[in-house]
Amino acid sequence: MSAAVALADDAQPYGVFAALRWAVARDLRLALRSRSELGVQLLFYVIVVSLFPLASSPERTLLAALGPGVLWVAALLASLLSLPRLFASDFADGTLEQIVLSPYPLAALLSGKVVAHWLTTGLPIVMLAPLLGLQYGLDGEVLAIVTISLLIGTPILSLLGAIGAALTLGARGGGSLLALLILPLYVPVLIFGAGSADAIRAGLSASPNLSLLAAGLLLALVGAPLATAAAVRIALD
C-alpha cells in the first residue's frame, strides 16, 4: 500500500495528529526491521565514550572533567551518523514524493519522522548515558544533569539534523555536505549541554544552561518542521 493511500485511510482525515501518528508508527516499524543499523549507531556511541578513559590519564579529577563533554560529543556524532537514513530511503523509492502529495500537512508528517528518529537514536543514548558516565567517576548529581541535558538536547539534534538531511537529498557527497551544514548548528547545543554539568562541578546552578536548551528546543519544534518541509519540496522540484 502506498504512503498516500495509507494516509487517506486514516480515521481522522487531514488531521495534524493523525499525520504525526502515522509517520511515527511507520518509521518505527521500518527502523525495527533494520535492528543491525540501530545497533551499529549505539555501539558507535558506546565505543567512542569508552575509548576516552583508556586513552587518557586514570586520574579521577581529569576523567570527571572530561566526562560530560565526551558524552555530549559522542551523542552528537552518533546523531549525525544516523541522519542520512532519515529521508534517503523514502527519496530513493519515491515514497517521499507520495508523502509530499498527500492531503496531510507535510510539516506534521516530517515531524513524525523526526520523532521516530529520536526514539530510535536519541532516547537510547539518553538511557545509556548514566551507565557510561560511571567510567568517568561522575557523581550522582552530575550524572543526573548530564542525562537531563541530553534528554532536552538530543531532540534539538534530530530536528536540526532533519533540515540538513532534507537540504542534501540527492546531492553528490551528501554525507560530507550534511556534516558541514549541521555541525556549526550543533555547537550551541553542545556548549549549553556540556556546560550544565560543568556548572554543577563548579558549585553553580545548571538552570541557566538547561533553560537555554529548553528555549532552543521550543524554537526548533516550531521552526524546524517548516524549514524541513520547505527543503524537501525544493529537493523534489
Contacts of 57 (CB under 8 A, 6+ apart): 63
What the block records as the C-alpha cell of 116 is: 521516530
Q: What pLDDT was estimated at residue 5?
A: 45
Residue 13 per-residue DSSP state? T
Overall average pLDDT of the 61-88 stretch? 89
Query: In this structure, is the dihedral angle defined by the CA atoms of residues 109, 100, 16 and 103, taken in order, positive or negative?
Result: negative
Find the range with the poorest average confidence among 35-39, 50-54, 210-214. Answer: 35-39
Q: What pLDDT was estimated at residue 24?
A: 93
Burial of 220 (0-12, 13-18, 19+ CB in 10 A): buried
Overall average pLDDT of the 127-135 stretch? 92
pTM as predicted: 0.88
Burial of 19 (0-12, 13-18, 19+ CB in 10 A): buried
What the block records as the C-alpha cell of 99 is: 508523502
What the block records as the C-alpha cell of 219 is: 524554537
User: Closest by alpha carbon to 181, among 78, 74, 84, 103?
Assistant: 84
Confirm if 116 and 109 have CB atoms less than 8 A apart.
no
Q: Say how far residue 138 (Cα) sits from the centre of its chain.
A: 24
Give the pLDDT band of residue 174 (cuts 50, 70, 90).
Answer: low
N residues, the chain: 237
CA–CA distance, 15 with 21 (Å, rounded to integer): 10
Give the pLDDT band of residue 34 (cuts 50, 70, 90).
Answer: confident
CA–CA distance, 79 with 229 (Å, rounded to integer): 20
- Unique residue bearing C-alpha cell 560530507: 176
